[in-house]
Structures are given as C-alpha cells and as structure tokens.
Copies of this chain bind each other. A is one copy, B any other.
Amino acid sequence: MTLWTQKPINGVLLDITGVLYESGNGGGNAINGSISAVLELNKLGIPVRFCTNETQCTRRKLVKKLHELGFSMEESHVFPPIPAMCKILKKRGLRPHTLVSSAAMEDFSEIDCSNPNCVVVGDATTELSYDNLNRAFQMLIAMENPILFSLGKGKYYKDAGELCLDVGCYMKALEYACDIEAEVVGKPSSNFFNAALEDMGVDASETVMIGDDVVNDVGGAQTCGMRGVLVRTGKFRPQDEQHSQVTPDGIVDNLAQAVKLIIESKN
C-alpha cells in the first residue's frame, strides 16, 4: 500500500512556482508535462486548488501569466497570501506598513494604510533596500505592541536558475531586531491551507499537497493532516530528500509523475 492508495485522493493542492513553471526572465517556462497534468486532474473530476506564497504581483496578474503559459484555472482557485492577509487586517482593524513588491500593492487597495499599527513583510526582492527594511524596523520598535506579519516564511526561492533569499529571512531579521515573533500568513500556516481545503470541500485526509519546498509545502501540509509530496523540480535540492525535520509521503520527479500515480490509484 502506497501513499497514493492508503486513502482515496479526492482533492489536490498544488504549489505554483517550481511545480507548474520555473520562473525566469520573460515570465518563465512551464515545466514539462505540467500543463497536461492539471488538465488530467480536471478530467478526472478531482478538485484542484493552487496554494502559493507568491506576492510579487497581484493575483490577477499571476493568473494571467499562468494562462499565457498554457495553464487553465479559475482565478478564485488560486490562493496567494495577500487576499488572506487583507481579510485578517480588516477583521482586526489593523493598518499595515507594507514591505511588499509595488507590483502587488493593488491587492491591498481596500486596506487603510495610513498611520500604520502593524508591519507586513512580503518578498520585496530588488526593492528591498537597507532603508526600506530599516523603516519597517523603526516602525515596529516604536510600537507599544509591535505586530509583524510575514507573507510566508520561505528560506529561499529559485529565480532564473538561481537561489535567492526569500521573505523568511527578512522576517527573521525583524524578529531578532525587535524581540518579537511574526504571524505567518501563507504556507506553512494551517489557517492558510485550511481555507483552500474548505473551498474544495474535501477533508485533509483525502487531500495531497504537491510542492517543491520540503518544509513549507510538504511539512506544512502534513501538519494539517494532508499527505505531502515533494517534486524534484523548482528549488528542490538533493539534500531535501534527507531533511532532518520533514519526511515527505512521496517524492516524484515532477508534477506529471505525481498525477500519473494519482490516476493509477483511481483504477
């Protein structure tokens, strides 16, 4: 009995970058077999949701890019951190100072950002300067009860073939500077995965999460009661197969192989 057959698979969560496509100059390239893999899941009638920590552009632009690469999905089936963050800000009456790509700021359009009483750090990439990070620090240290949100906590991502520092590193810098702990919105937060599960209407025990981040995709999904499968694409590194804290339920070469195994488990 394998992970694919131990319990029926009635829902699939997919990471986007490094699973559907490799990012890079000019928008990146679809990973071999990924476009048809998603179509096959649709044909089988298995609900799919896309769980991403992508914050470099708006959800609308992200989906547009995926459509241009050849993928088909509804925008509402894509779960990035910023819409989830906005819900939390509204619910708690918080006004953020954002350290987020300007290309993604449109998704904060309904949020009052005046007179900030919290800080939100996303992946600011090249816009991240000493001054920007310092300003976020100065706002936090001046607050009586500093509140820091981090849109994911990844260590690094892969862009145009190179590993690059991810938002988790800036989160750690600000946590250390202010002696605080950030609230993470995005993977591996259980609340974040659960919103996608709820939207599918499928129980965690019948769902598989497929991603290239052994800690945030695979480990995070396992903590929620899902099975977690690691792909050998994206930022995958051989040492991830022997990770000290996370043992994936399965490791596959790519999304196409994972979907093939899911289909076989149905026969």
Chain A interface (Cβ < 8 Å from any Cβ of B)? 124-131, 133-134, 137-138, 141, 155-156, 162-166, 168-170, 172-179
CB-CB nearest in chain B for A178: B155
CA distance A156 to B176 in the complex (A): 10
Shortest beta-carbon contacts, A-B, top 8: A169-B173, A128-B130, A172-B176, A173-B173, A172-B172, A169-B177, A155-B177, A137-B165
- Is B169 within 8 A of A174, CB to CB? yes
- Is A126 within 8 A of B130, CB to CB? yes
Give the number of copies in the complex.
2
From B128, B131, B155, B179, A176 is in contact (CB under 8 Å) with B155
Name, among A124, A174, A177, the residue most crowded by chain B CB atoms within 10 Å (CB to CB). A177
With A141-B156, A156-B141 in contact, is A133–B177 under 8 Å at CB?
A: no
Give A101 Cβ to nearest chain B Cβ, in Å: 12
CA distance A164 to B177 in the complex (A): 9
Determine the chain B residues whose CB is within 8 A of the CB of A128 once the complex forms: 129-130
Give A51 Cβ to nearest chain B Cβ, in Å: 22
Determine the chain B residues whose CB is within 8 A of the CB of A164 once the complex forms: 134, 137-138
CA distance A178 to B168 in the complex (A): 12
Determine the chain B residues whose CB is within 8 A of the CB of A168 once the complex forms: 176-177
- Is B137 within 8 A of A126, CB to CB? no
CA distance A162 to B164 in the complex (A): 30
From B125, B138, B179, A130 is in contact (CB under 8 Å) with B125
